[in-house]
């Protein structure tokens, strides 16, 4: 039986009703759900402050034309890897696995794909995640074998170079019991008009240690509507980090759920907005189990006419006692026209918790600048040094040092410090 | 020979006048101590000279080697040869001493390798752990380490005039001795020092040529080093304005209360209103 369905994406029809294929069946169901949803509006709390009403899905075509990776940017120095997967415009163009403890399933008729996709994000967090489920052409289901340490990073490159094109990167990471791995996902594009809706699902089994670093270097005309969900099991430790520079409007919704007793989740971000970029982060730290920790630190700067939005929620469920949860967002506003909104929130249903949230938006610290100037460092250089230092602290802790180094170099360039020998 | 000349300097902080006409000259190789009680304006003087935001010179002038510095940016004053060792050195996360001094000296054509070498030597001389040179400025440093750090930077930057804002606060006697003696040695190489302090202690190791007493924004007395010794014994009381009035003020207030009590007891407090 064959059937076609109309999508809102340039009114493209797709073939979806191959009932013999479990994943296609799930995609068909997801498409029905997605089509029943309205596009969000900035009047909804979780879309407040955004320009989401300007998005018109009909503008974009879909498919998997593939192509070549044009540049590896901040991830260029990550060459010694456990595995590397390169996906261009919805098509996996290269795949290499060097470590026997890493298995990666990509075939749409592979049952691991059907069972993996949607296993953590059991309900799509928004219409874009639902369309991702329905239309993803390149799901990657990565499994780290139990009791194994994968020392070198696993690198995923999601590159976009098609104009007026929408696609749906999907990554599912299953870190089995007592496994350890570091994953780098690079989102990069040429200067195209595109819509990218990535979904990342992470599940960490008992005592697993997983680090997941996302680096976003999208072009200025790209809409990114990303979501990431992590389920952290008993005594497991997951650290998700985001480095974000580009996009016209680049949103990342980040859900981190401490589901097993003793689970720890670290959530970090470094972002730098320039020109007319909007960087939008929505975080949810959800403590379902006792003896769990979460620690969020987001640091950003906005220059030119760029905008940054941070809204965060810590939620402690009634059964989650002995919880420690922190949420900190600090922003530097480097120009008068730049704009930042930072809204931290707490919802606590248990008394035995230690929580704090803090947010700050302001210019470069005058005392710090004065201190440097009083040594003879010219004003503009002093200001740039303080901004660079503001990020250096966090970048030192990135799970892949070369990305931290390159990111700091990029920030130095943006601050016109590149000629300065440090 | 370089000269820092302060003439009729008045300054305010947050719209409140703090300095009320300061006259002072510091030449190369000299050590001038400015002493005074809390709130006299000592730190304001150092901050105005260096141009800290929020400290506004409202009258008078400050010049270094004939150049008016009040119209210059802070970094230009530093480049001209001024240095301020801060009472509370600011923490600057993610910025190292090495980078800061390299950038400060780059415009003088001094290579960053030279800076690094000098800094290592100075750190060793002053007893500062060289590992701290690559760490964030002043972050997680003890009081003593911060002041040793300020002194090492002073020695590397080689200013013509250094202002020491309570260099002796927050450090133990060993650190005090190390810092003061290093600076004393620099004065032999023509460094001029304006040393702001509460206590005589610092001057034991960094002997002053002149001592000035700053009270209520004005220098009320200047003399040789013996003045500091005298202060140590007698305190500032004889320099405080209207000393007698001040103590009277206290006794009047107490007396007033005691006078008020019987009047309340004996008279109807509303008597006047009723009349």
Q: How far apart are CA B95 and CA B100, in angstroms?
A: 7
pLDDT at B254 over 60: no
Point out the least confidently predicted range of A257-261, A267-271, B115-119. B115-119
What is the pLDDT averaged over residues B119-135? 93
Residues B184-234 pLDDT 10s: 999 999 999 999 998 888 999 999 999 999 999 999 999 999 998 888 888
Structural Rg of chain B based on CA atoms: 23
Report pLDDT for A17: 60
Reported ipTM: the value is 0.87
* Minimum-distance CB partner of B74 among A373, A386, A391: A373
DSSP of A211-266: EEEEEEE--TTEEEEEEEEEEE-TT-EEEEEEEE---SEEEEEEEEEE-STT-EEE
Instruction: Tell if the CB–CB gap between B106 and A371 is shorter than 8 Å.
Output: no
With contact defined as beta carbons under 8 Å apart, do B26 and B161 qualify? yes
A394 pLDDT higher than 90: no
Q: What is the pLDDT of residue B256?
A: 35
Cβ pair B144, B171 in contact under 8 A: yes
Residue B26: C-alpha distances to residues A170, A262, B223, B228, B234 (Å)? 70, 64, 14, 18, 26
Whether B262 has a pLDDT exceeding 60, the answer reads no
Mutation to test the A interface, candidates B90, B106, B136, most A Cβ within 10 Å: B90
pLDDT top residue among B245 and A350: A350
Average pLDDT, chain B: 87
Residues of A in contact with B92 (CB under 8 A): 368, 371-372, 385-386, 389
pTM of the model: 0.88
Question: What whole-number distance in Å separates Cα of residue B162 and Cα of residue B184?
Answer: 11
Closest-CA distance, B47 to chain A, in angstroms, reads 10
pLDDT at A16: 61
| Neighbour tally for B216: CB within 10 Å | 16
* Structure-model confidence comparison of residues B168 and A338, the more confident one: A338
The pLDDT assigned to B198 comes to: 83
Give CA–CA dist B226/A354, Å, rounded. 58
Mean pLDDT of B138-154: 94
Write down the mean pLDDT value for chain A.
94
CB contact under 8 A, B100 and A388: no
Residue B266: its pLDDT value, please? 43
Q: Do A372 and B86 touch (CB under 8 A)?
A: no
Q: Do A390 and B84 touch (CB under 8 A)?
A: no
Pick A366's closest partner by Cβ from B50, B53, B93. B53
Residue A329 in contact with residue A360, Cβ under 8 Å?
A: yes
pLDDT band with cut points at 50, 70 and 90 for residue A12: confident
Contact yes or no for A376 and B136 at CB 8 A = no
Cα gap A131→B195, rounded to integer Å: 70
Chain B residue closest in CA terms to A369: B92
Beta bridge partners of B136: B96
How far, rounded to the nearest angstrom, does the alpha carbon of residue B168 sit from its chain's CA centroid? 10
User: Over 90: is that where the pLDDT of A70 sits?
Assistant: no
């Amino acid at each position: 039986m064959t059937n076609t369905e109309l999508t809102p994406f340039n009114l493209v029809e797709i073939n979806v009703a191959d009932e013999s294929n479990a994943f296609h069946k799930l995609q068909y169901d997801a498409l029905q759900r997605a089509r029943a949803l309205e596009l969000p509006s900035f009047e909804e709390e979780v879309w407040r402050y955004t320009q989401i009403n300007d998005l018109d899905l009909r503008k974009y075509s879909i498919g998997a034309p593939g192509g070549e990776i044009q540049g590896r940017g901040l991830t260029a120095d990550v060459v010694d890897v456990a595995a590397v997967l390169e996906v261009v415009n919805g098509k996996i163009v290269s795949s290499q696995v060097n470590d026997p403890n890493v298995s990666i399933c990509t075939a749409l008729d592979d049952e691991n794909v059907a069972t993996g996709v949607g296993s953590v994000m059991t309900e799509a967090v928004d219409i874009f995640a639902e369309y991702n489920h329905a239309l993803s052409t390149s799901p990657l289901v990565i499994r780290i074998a139990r009791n194994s340490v994968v020392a070198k990073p696993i690198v995923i490159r999601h590159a976009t170079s098609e104009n007026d094109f929408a696609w749906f990167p999907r990554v599912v990471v299953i870190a089995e019991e007592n496994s350890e791995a570091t994953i780098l996902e690079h989102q990069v594009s040429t200067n195209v008009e595109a819509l990218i809706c990535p979904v990342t699902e992470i599940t960490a089994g008992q005592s697993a240690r997983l680090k997941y670093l996302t680096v976003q270097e999208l072009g200025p005309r790209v809409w990114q509507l990303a979501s990431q969900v992590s389920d952290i099991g008993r005594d497991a430790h997951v650290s998700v980090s985001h480095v974000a520079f580009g996009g016209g409007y680049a949103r990342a919704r980040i859900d981190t759920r401490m589901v097993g007793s003793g689970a720890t989740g670290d959530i970090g971000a470094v972002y730098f907005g320039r020109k007319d970029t909007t960087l939008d982060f929505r975080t949810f730290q959800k403590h379902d189990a006792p003896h769990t920790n979460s620690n969020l630190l987001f640091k950003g700067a906005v220059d030119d006419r760029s905008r940054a939005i941070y809204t965060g929620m810590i939620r402690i469920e009634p059964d989650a006692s002995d919880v420690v949860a922190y949420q900190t967002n600090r922003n530097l506003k480097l120009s008068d026209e730049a704009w930042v909104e930072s809204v931290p929130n707490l919802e606590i249903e248990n008394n035995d918790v230690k929580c704090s949230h803090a947010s700050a938006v302001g210019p470069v610290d005058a005392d710090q600048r004065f201190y440097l100037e009083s040594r003879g460092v010219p004003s503009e250089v002093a200001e740039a040094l303080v901004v660079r230092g503001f990020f250096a602290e966090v970048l030192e802790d990135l799970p892949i040092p070369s990305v931290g180094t390159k990111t700091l170099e990029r920030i130095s360039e943006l601050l016109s410090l590149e000629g300065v020998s440090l | 020979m370089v000269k820092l000349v302060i003439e009729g300097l008045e300054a305010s902080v947050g719209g409140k006048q703090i300095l009320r006409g300061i006259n002072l000259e510091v030449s190369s190789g000299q050590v001038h101590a400015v002493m005074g009680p809390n709130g006299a304006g000592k730190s304001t003087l150092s901050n105005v000279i260096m141009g800290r935001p929020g400290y506004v010179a409202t009258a008078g002038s400050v010049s270094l080697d004939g150049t008016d510095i009040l119209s210059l940016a802070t970094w230009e004053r530093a480049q001209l040869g001024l240095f301020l060792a801060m009472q509370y050195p600011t923490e600057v996360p993610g910025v190292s001493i090495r980078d800061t001094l390299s950038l400060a000296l780059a415009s003088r054509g001094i290579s960053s390798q030279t800076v690094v070498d000098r800094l290592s030597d100075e750190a060793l001389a002053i007893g500062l752990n060289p590992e701290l040179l690559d760490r964030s400025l002043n972050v997680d440093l003890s009081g003593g380490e911060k002041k040793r750090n300020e002194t090492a930077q002073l020695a590397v930057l080689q200013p013509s005039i250094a202002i020491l804002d309570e260099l002796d606060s927050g450090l133990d006697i060993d650190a005090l001795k190390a810092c003061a003696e290093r600076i004393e040695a620099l004065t032999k190489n023509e460094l001029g020092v304006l040393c702001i302090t509460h206590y005589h202690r610092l001057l034991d190791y960094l002997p002053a040529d002149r001592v000035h007493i700053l009270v209520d924004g004005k220098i009320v007395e200047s003399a040789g080093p013996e003045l500091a010794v005298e202060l140590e014994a007698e305190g500032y009381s004889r320099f405080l304005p209207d000393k007698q009035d001040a103590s009277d003020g206290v006794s009047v207030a107490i007396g007033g209360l005691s006078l008020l009590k019987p009047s309340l007891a004996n008279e109807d407090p509303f008597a006047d209103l009723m009349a």
